[in-house]
Amino acid sequence: MGAKQPLLLNPGCPPSDDQGISAVLDLSAAVLSANWVELVLTPEGHNPCRTYVHGATDRTGSSRDLDVGDGITATLRFGGGSKPSTEFLSTLATALRITIDRHRLRSQTAVLRAALDSTSSSVLLFDRRGDILYANPPADSLLSLQTEDALLVKTEGEVSLPLFTVLSTVVERVASSDPKSPAWRGTLQVRDGRVLACEVTRLPQVDSLPDTVLVLLQYLGSEPAVRIKAFCSAHKLSPREIEVVQLLIEGLTTVAIAERLSISPHTVRDHLKNLYRKTGASSRGELLGLVSRTAPQIDRYNV
């Protein structure tokens, strides 16, 4: 079930020193010529979350409810002074609503920032021109490597280009495509043998904000490891059969594999028979040849 607005399930109240709240209290005291002003915010279905006070309160005074909406009830209490007009209360409610919305947006931004900062994936936001707007800590690490020319991606024709040059080109293509087009997903091979899973998504345009493209990068492993994984996945090998394949690649004999896996040589031979049956190979050499010829999903770009 997808999340709906607002992001925060429990509507929060601004802190006691919030400038917007202070302005509401100061304005109320000045316009009403009140001796003191008290504002109570209560989220729907909850106890009052915070009481804001201007001046020394007492038990005598008047109160008015303010329609701020969004699941929060606001009550303004004041001592002395004049009776507030309907227009003033409406203006006060609007100012208070803006203050609460601003607090919510800041809180939501903090939650999202914490989530993005804690993930192991590299998360970047680009504008449609390919300029970086935001990078989380793992992405910052990639950027630092980029300045040292340590991240070069193999493109078509075996030409190596900086990772972020390739990403900027892909971002520009995605940004100029149909907004309803699905996200681009693929893998990129770094020159040092590492493989990165990549997803590039054009985000829906919000109000007057510029088009934004989200890029997710996740380290998958080295090219040989990705190749072995692709081979095992293609032939639906069991976990034990995968272990046997990995040890065969290391050059181990049947007896050595048995010792490494703490099983009998007879059981190893049974696993080999199953591997030959599943892959169509007739010998160890042919099986290893199939592994070496399995093409992992590594996309190279003609940039």
Give domain status of residue 7, yes or no. no
- Domain contains 4: no
The DSSP bridge pattern shows strands 212-222 and 194-202 to be antiparallel
Q: Which two tokens stand for residue 282?
A: 């007739």
Asked if residues 40 and 68 have their Cβ atoms less than 8 Å apart, the reply is: no
What is the band of 2 on the pLDDT scale with cuts at 50, 70, 90?
Answer: very low
- Residues 232-264 have pLDDT tens digits of 888 888 989 988 988 888 788 889 989 999 999
What is the rounded distance in angstroms from the CA atom of residue 283 to the CA atom of residue 135? 49
Contact between residue 101 and residue 5 where contact means Cβ atoms under 8 Å apart: no
The answer to whether residue 210 scores a pLDDT higher than 80 is: no
Residue 198 identity (one-letter amino acid): C
136 and 102 together in one domain = no
In this predicted structure, what is the pLDDT of residue 156?
Answer: 64
Are 124 and 216 contained in the same domain? Answer: yes
d(CA 152, CA 160): 5
Q: Which residue among 222, 243, 275 closes a domain? A: 222
Note the pLDDT tens digit of each residue in 60-101: 888 999 988 777 889 999 988 889 999 999 999 999 999 988
- Domain-terminating residue out of 116, 141, 172: 116
In eight-state DSSP terms, residue 203 is: P
pLDDT, tens digit, 9 for 90 and up, residues 38-58:
999 888 766 767 888 988 877
Q: Cα-atom radius of gyration of the chain, to the nearest Å? A: 31
| CATH number for position 279 | 1.10.10.10
Question: What total number of domains does the chain contain?
Answer: 3
Whether 9 is in a domain gets the answer no
The model's pTM is 0.60
Domain region containing 84: 19-116
**Higher-pLDDT residue of 172, 221:** 172
C-alpha torsion 249→255→258→264, nearest 10: 140
Residue 76 belongs to domain with CATH number:
3.30.450.40
Residue 169 counted as domain residue: yes
E strand or H helix at 115, and its extent?
Answer: helix 86-118
